[in-house]
Structure 1
Amino acid sequence: MASFNLNSTQVEDYHRDGYVVVKGLFSEEEIAKLYNTALENSVMQKNAMDLNDQSGKKTKLSLWFTPGDDVFGYLIRSERMVNSVWQLLGEESQVCHFHTKLMQKEPKVGGAWEWHQDYGYWYKNQFIFPDQLMSVMIALTSANKENGCLQVIKGSHKMGRVNHGFAGEQVGADMEMVNHALKTMDLVYCEIEPGDALFFHSNLLHRSEANLSDHPRWSLISCYNSQSNIAYAETSPSWKVPVSIVPDRALLEWEANSFGNADFLKKEDDPALKTTGWEAEVKTH
């Protein structure tokens, strides 16, 4: 692979801290194209789900599995995205796309996300190796303390998986362990600007506050997996299909076409939102 490369310090930061921020991975023009398409795309909005936090505020998200030949697919499949993930997962890995979420936190009403690990959800999909799963958040609008930017507990990915249970309509981490982590490690507010990328490990504890500002907080979060990391209970095949990479220029060259065939997740089909067995007994918060 060629194109954009993370430097050795960025790779070391990711493995030590569980995350790394890359400023300006995408240009202002590219982000404007993504954001405007997200605002105007009726299929995307029709397939958005509302998830309530404990106070009743709503976060809206659209989630799909297979990256297509559209502006979102070209971001997911771009050389700079896939090459960066390849460096962080390990250069022996074949990079696959698990899913992407469009997160829409509207002013005054956008809800909080409870403390959680992504692998706290994906454990239900029976992925074997959490080190071979990661997420990349791309800011479409500014994300700051006022509008509910991501908060992370630095180095918490080294704790391993924490038990998760329900908190409102969301699945959150056991707060006793979260509080231990907060006493042991640093809490970091990841304030990022449009085009910045936040790469983070599947076991990194993170959360976000409700958006009480006058400004929206929109982002794309793309989740990637190594092809060798088997998901024994995942019905979508995307997690095991190597990404078909497109040149970085493809995003700006894209012209509007249909987004109607995307394999969106329906709320009722999400395995993380189904309570069975031990999960019903896990302490919620």
Structure 2
Amino acid sequence: MPAPILTAQQVADFRRDGYVIARHFFSPEEIQKVYACALEDEAMRKNALDLNDQTGKKTRLTLWFTPGDDIYSLLLRSERMVKSAALLLDSDAPVCHFHTKLMQKEPRVGGAWEWHQDYGYWYKNQFMFPDQMVSIMIALTHANKENGCLQVIKGSHKLGRVNHGFAGEQVGADMVMVDNALQTMELVYSELQPGDALFFHSNLLHRSEANLSEHPRWSMISVYTSQSNPAYNETSTAYNVPLQVAADEALLESNAGAATSHADFLKKEADPALKDTGWENTVDTGNK
């Protein structure tokens, strides 16, 4: 059986709601292979970033830009991922990879992500067209209310970019607009099973609670953009290089491991989104 890509109805749902969930997008065997590799990956641990939320709890992620032939890249370059992304990007230009994050929300200590739009971060990278950017979250473990699954405001991508300031060490959306959106639109808890895929627009408002449960919440989030989407304040170059699509079956058939020791990992001090430009102080993010 061919691996899934998004249906016409799912594409329509994404356009309307700003997100869509594709169940069983990857098989249990595929997810187990990736998750087992991530758990043992020393490079992922060494290059992880800890960003404090407003309570001081740490949110941990490892972010890199250029895909290769390792196990993570076989997932993010898989035909089902790239073809599905192409259906959602507002461009006919080739699909490129901006970055992938391994999100590591550990039991009892994993912090919250404050309300934000991804384009609230990427606006500082000076990407020009938010409709030409899409994130795909692949659940490596169960994600539910108890362990801090993603919450989204349905349809909030239609607000356009909301002003963002600093919330703890994170970038947070203007809470006046967030509160207005919550009064106007539906709040949805995006509960996922391992292998489910959550596709979401760069302007969708979303957040997640701290993980106070006994169970980890790990996921991979790959961000795709069109080659026609310039970024005038981005030093990495992967975002402008068309992806080399990998066969869907390569993930299971390959003996590739976590060859990420020489990957171009993001360093906190190099992230444009975390640099203070002054205007962030005028935004009410609820920062304590």
Fold similarity call, TM over 0.5:
yes
Compute the RMSD of aligned alpha carbons.
1.2
Partner of 1:127: 127
Partner of 1:274: 275
Q: Helix, strand or coil for the counterpart of 2:182?
A: helix
Question: Does the 8 Å contact 2:227/2:241 carry over to 1?
Answer: yes
- Alpha-carbon spacing, 1:278–1:91, altered in 2? closer, same or farther (3 Å): closer
Letter in 1 for 2:204: L
Aligned ranges for residues 232-251 of structure 1 at < 5 Å? 232-251=232-251
Partner of 1:166: 166
**1-structure distance, mates of 2:210, 2:43:** 26
Deviations 1:138-195 (A, max 9, x none): 0000000000000000000000000000111111000000000000000000000000
Percent identity between matched residues is: 69
Letter in 2 for 1:219: S
Question: Does the 8 Å contact 2:101/2:222 carry over to 1?
Answer: yes
**1-structure distance, mates of 2:144, 2:258:** 33
Q: Does 1:264 align with 2:265?
A: yes
User: TM-score, normalised to structure 1's length?
Assistant: 0.97
Partner of 2:16: 16
Measured after TM superposition, the shift of residue 91 of structure 1 is: 6.4
Q: Does 1:50 align with 2:50?
A: yes
Measured after TM superposition, the shift of residue 93 of structure 1 is: 2.8
Measured after TM superposition, the shift of residue 56 of structure 1 is: 1.1
Measured after TM superposition, the shift of residue 283 of structure 1 is: 2.0
Q: Helix, strand or coil for the counterpart of 2:137?
A: strand
Question: Does the 8 Å contact 1:97/1:225 carry over to 2?
Answer: yes
Question: Does the 8 Å contact 2:61/2:102 carry over to 1?
Answer: yes
Structure 2 alignment gaps of length 5 or more: none
**2-structure distance, mates of 1:30, 1:185:** 35
Measured after TM superposition, the shift of residue 36 of structure 1 is: 0.7
Q: Helix, strand or coil for the counterpart of 1:125?
A: coil
Question: Does the 8 Å contact 2:5/2:81 carry over to 1?
Answer: no
Q: Helix, strand or coil for the counterpart of 2:233?
A: coil
Q: Identify which range, 193-202 or 273-282, moves more after superposition.
A: 273-282
Measured after TM superposition, the shift of residue 257 of structure 1 is: 5.8
Partner of 2:193: 193
Q: Report the number of matched residues.
A: 284
Q: Does 1:205 align with 2:238?
A: no
Partner of 1:230: 230
Question: Does the 8 Å contact 2:91/2:226 carry over to 1?
Answer: no
- Alpha-carbon spacing, 1:216–1:16, altered in 2? closer, same or farther (3 Å): same
Letter in 2 for 1:46: K
Measured after TM superposition, the shift of residue 3 of structure 1 is: 6.0
Q: Does 1:154 align with 2:154?
A: yes
Measured after TM superposition, the shift of residue 90 of structure 1 is: 4.4
Deviations 1:79-126 (A, max 9, x none): 000000011114623100000000000000000000000000000011
**1-structure distance, mates of 2:108, 2:93:** 42
- Alpha-carbon spacing, 1:138–1:3, altered in 2? closer, same or farther (3 Å): closer
Partner of 2:113: 113
Q: Helix, strand or coil for the counterpart of 1:199?
A: strand
Q: Helix, strand or coil for the counterpart of 1:228?
A: coil
Letter in 1 for 2:43: V
Q: Helix, strand or coil for the counterpart of 2:123?
A: helix
Q: Helix, strand or coil for the counterpart of 1:215?
A: coil
Letter in 2 for 1:126: Q
**1-structure distance, mates of 2:91, 2:188:** 28
Partner of 1:92: 92
Q: Identify which range, 204-213 or 270-279, moves more after superposition.
A: 270-279
